[in-house]
Structure 1
Amino acid sequence: MEELIRTFIAVEISKSVRDQISRLEQHLRKEGAKVGWVRPENLHLTLKFLGNVQSVRIEDVVGATQDAVQGIKPFALFFSGLGAFPSLKRPRVIWIGVEEGAVSLGRIQKELEEKLFQRGFAREEREFSPHLTIGRVKSQKGIGGLVSKLEKTQFESEKMWVEQIVVMRSDLKPTGAVYTPLGVCQLV
């Protein structure tokens, strides 16, 4: 039987920005809300989640990603602001917004959708909204303190440079997701 690989395409986050976000998470954790915080080493900005992909199609995904980044130069990325999906009133996902670099991310994501569609992959229905997921709310009980803290907390990352896009494998383990690069596509 063909192996299925849980696959996504993403921008990896620099160590210094991950460290900043780790400090932010520690600050937010103090509220004691039931949130699954993303481990610093797993922080990434998803451009396209593909779900389960047959192992023989991974080459197509890497090829489409390579085609999508053709002619796109490295660019600066800067994160700012905190929010939640679907809203701060009933948060399920806690995120940090993209201040600088959103246009370039949008261009890459649009190209990815097109190149993957040409290879038989489904298009994303929702409009792309660049963000960095830092936590997933497990229970709405006792969430008020965290929401209040999110509303009051200012966050701005240092600038990082996006020089590559990575096709990743995601293996879900009891201890959390483990990500393994399947292909790296350089911006030049």
Structure 2
Amino acid sequence: MRLFVALSPPADVVDAVLAARAPGPRHTSDLRWTHPSDWHLTLVFLGEVPDGSLPALADVLGAVAGDHAPFDLTVDGWGVFPRSGPSAVLWSGIGGDTEALASLAADLRAAAVFTGPPGQDRPYVPHLTVARSRPPRDLTDLRSVLGRGPRHPWPVREVRLIESRPGREDRYRTARTWALGWKTDPGISPERSTA
């Protein structure tokens, strides 16, 4: 299974980003505009994980989620990768309690080290990918058309383990969901499986 751990934006956040990017497809229709159902904020990419490793991995990741209290983010503005020269990705940025977000991502990354996640030496830049360009190009004009971008609160209350299934209509499938802070609040249920 090809897996990653992520936050899924709630419906009102999706609506805010959709509204902010609405002029984009009319202005630059030849970009690959990502579908809102695919939007997620990756915390750690795990890569290929053997099915037999999933129960132990889920226990470890769920325990980490339980140790972290809920926190609040915002979707905030636009950005591109790479940050200089022609761009391959347009994304919506993340603000709010980014220290809590970075701490959660780092702890999940450390807990999952036995899976050998690739590419974890890059700086963590939280974002929602909204469009891709192949080949990369200058997106300055598009960013001007889009304006300041979305700014909307995002209460973070759970973490998801997601299976990536390229080539399928339902490309991302949630395998597990854990509530944040369940270890410190006995009224919170730690996990539900959506497999």
- TM-score, normalization by structure 2: 0.83
Q: Is the 8 A contact 1:67 1:115 kept in 2?
A: no
In the TM superposition, 1:1-188 aligns within 5 A as 5-87=1-83, 89-117=85-113, 119-122=114-117, 124-140=120-136, 143-144=137-138, 146-151=139-144, 153-173=147-167, 178-188=171-181
Q: 1:149 & 1:68 partners in 2: Cα distance?
A: 39
Q: Is the 8 A contact 1:10 1:165 kept in 2?
A: yes
SS state at 1:73 partner: coil
> Counterpart amino acid of 1:47?
L
Runs (4+) of structure 1 exceeding 6 A deviation are none
Q: Is the 8 A contact 2:17 2:92 kept in 1?
A: no
Q: 2:116 & 2:155 partners in 1: Cα distance?
A: 29
> Counterpart amino acid of 1:148?
D
Deviations 1:118-164 (A, max 9, x none): x3434611121111211111234xx55x4213145112332121110
Identity of aligned residues (%): 21
SS state at 2:87 partner: coil
Q: 1:122 & 1:40 partners in 2: Cα distance?
A: 26
Q: State the 1:59 CA deviation.
A: 2.0
Distance 1:80 1:18, change over 3 A: same
- TM-score, normalization by structure 1: 0.86
> Counterpart amino acid of 1:186?
A
For the aligned residue pairs, the C-alpha RMSD in angstroms reads 2.0
Distance 1:174 1:147, change over 3 A: farther
Distance 1:23 1:104, change over 3 A: same
Q: Is the 8 A contact 2:38 2:172 kept in 1?
A: yes
Q: 1:30 & 1:89 partners in 2: Cα distance?
A: 24
